[in-house]
Amino acid sequence: MAVRVKHFIIGTAAHLDHGKTALVKALTGQDTDRLKEEKERGISIDLGFAYFTLPSGERVGIVDVPGHERFIRNMLAGAHGVDLALFTVAADDGVMPQSEEHLDILHLLGVQRGVFVITKADLVEKKRLKEVREEIELLAEGTRLQGAPVVAVSSLTGAGLEQLKAELARQLEGLRARPVGELFRLPIDRAFVIKGHGTVVTGTATGGAVSVGQKLRLLPSGEVVRVRSIQVHSTAVERAESGQRVALNLSAGERAQVKRGDVVADERLDFATARLDALLEVRPSAKLPLKTNDLIHLFLGTSETLGRVIVLNEKAELAPKESGFVQFVLRAPVVALRGDRFVVRNAASQRTVGGGMVVNPLGRRSRNPLTRYHSLLAALNEGFGTAAIAAMIDLQEALALDAARISHLLNLPLAVVREALTQPAFIAIASGDEVSFTTVTKWEEFKRFALESVAAFHRANPLAAGMDMEALRARSPYQVAPRLYRALVDQLCEQS
């Protein structure tokens, strides 16, 4: 149902000093280590960026991530938009601890394609190359990259580079574009101010498109800005799309308020969330079960947020290798839509516990009965049709939502949502020019509540002229704006 993008991002992954940056330079001629400290120490500290030119002439963005465990936060900020993994394992070292964690992260972020590269192949004999291949096969077992091709190269001599380039092109050619929503979103991985020009932000676009002159919204602050100029791979363009590495010059003033983890988005996207429902997979490396009220670090897009987890099953825990629905209660708001991928680390952020996909961006505080809440999440997780739209409405604190808000939450095109809302499963409530929608289930619950409340009031106050409408609204089981409530009561009276 969602739009599919045609642009792709390659992302590196590997243990420290396994030749990621040298390999990118050998492939592209571009050095992704831009910081003075990186050049002095000979290791990547922050994200680096380059591009790979396909035989067709099309440029594909490359995000080079640090391999040291101390900089895993930076790695996670760069890995969120990766379509194809360039996973390096040094021939002399073989598979190392960060190799396993980086592969877990790629698996949890839903990366479907990759190429394993045995680097420093000139340093070892053929027997050792065979041993490393076997180590890689064991490492990849049970992940999305199981069975991915393995190519041995030397960035120093150039051996194997042409084979690797051909394999990357082959993998990208057969890669199915991921579905994205209509609304432009750019999780920010770099933000800086150029004197006289204002704020510049960079990131991997994860939805929609953006044009010069367009108004965007900075989230979670909500500030509206305008796009002064756009660059893709250091080239000025009038328009950029999802799946591209993008730099935006914004009319946000020369202020250092924008930071990594913020999102610049379509102006119509006007909310962030501190409580969301998700499908979570706990990886074997977690070692211990994830339990309700455990503190976690949630990595979503380029953001990192501390929070606690509520496991939505009777045991109130998920063991390693188990998957299930959870709710995250966060200490700071994040920008999340259905289908967004995330990674979870433990309270000290020392170990990757698991990860998965956002199901409901606006989780409810009241989840009783749990079986009902769980079944709604299951329906929402399983499709994009009428049942999923009804489940999203039923999961919200609000009684009714307009079509645009439903579209945003589901990350679906507005036209698809509007067509589905014509089905008998939904009730339209008109208030002036505004139309909101609820489900038959919610409508019947509201009608029963209203009739029972009015009857109880008259039994207790037989001489009263009638119950105050605001008193009835305050007791409603769902959130309803005053103007919409008047339309609800009028509609209820017509049906009674």
400: left (phi over 0), alpha (psi -120 to 50) or beta: beta
Q: Write out pLDDT tens, residues 111-162.
A: 989 999 999 999 999 999 999 999 999 999 999 999 999 999 999 999 999 9
Residue 12 per-residue DSSP state:
E
Q: Quick check: 157 and 122 in contact, CB under 8 A?
A: yes
From residue 85, alpha-carbon distances to 10, 247, 368, 481, 486 in Å are 6, 22, 41, 47, 54
Q: Quick check: 5 and 181 in contact, CB under 8 A?
A: no
Q: Quick check: 358 and 337 in contact, CB under 8 A?
A: yes
Q: Write out pLDDT tens, residues 446-477.
A: 888 877 887 887 888 887 777 777 777 777 88
CB burial string 336-350: b at 16+ within 10 A, e below: bbbbbbbbbbbeebe
Q: Write out pLDDT tens, residues 231-276.
A: 998 899 999 999 899 999 998 654 548 999 999 999 999 999 999 9
How much is the average pLDDT of 74-88?
A: 91
Q: Is the pLDDT of residue 208 over 70?
A: yes
Q: In the block, which residue shows the tokens 């670090």?
A: 297
Residue 488 per-residue DSSP state:
H
Which residues pair with residue 324 across a beta bridge?
280
Q: Quick check: 312 and 367 in contact, CB under 8 A?
A: yes
Q: Is the pLDDT of residue 345 over 80?
A: yes
How much is the average pLDDT of 327-339?
A: 97
Compute the chain's Rg from CA coordinates. Answer: 25
Q: Quick check: 37 and 86 in contact, CB under 8 A?
A: no
- Nearest of 355, 353, 349, 343 to residue 70 by alpha carbon: 349
Encoded tokens for 95 = 């598979």
Q: Which amino acid is at 71?
A: F
Backbone angles phi, psi at 335, to 5 degrees: -95, 115
- Put simply, whether the predicted model's pTM sits higher than 0.85 gets the answer yes
Encoded tokens for 277 = 């429902």
Q: In the block, which residue shows the tokens 């509201």?
A: 446
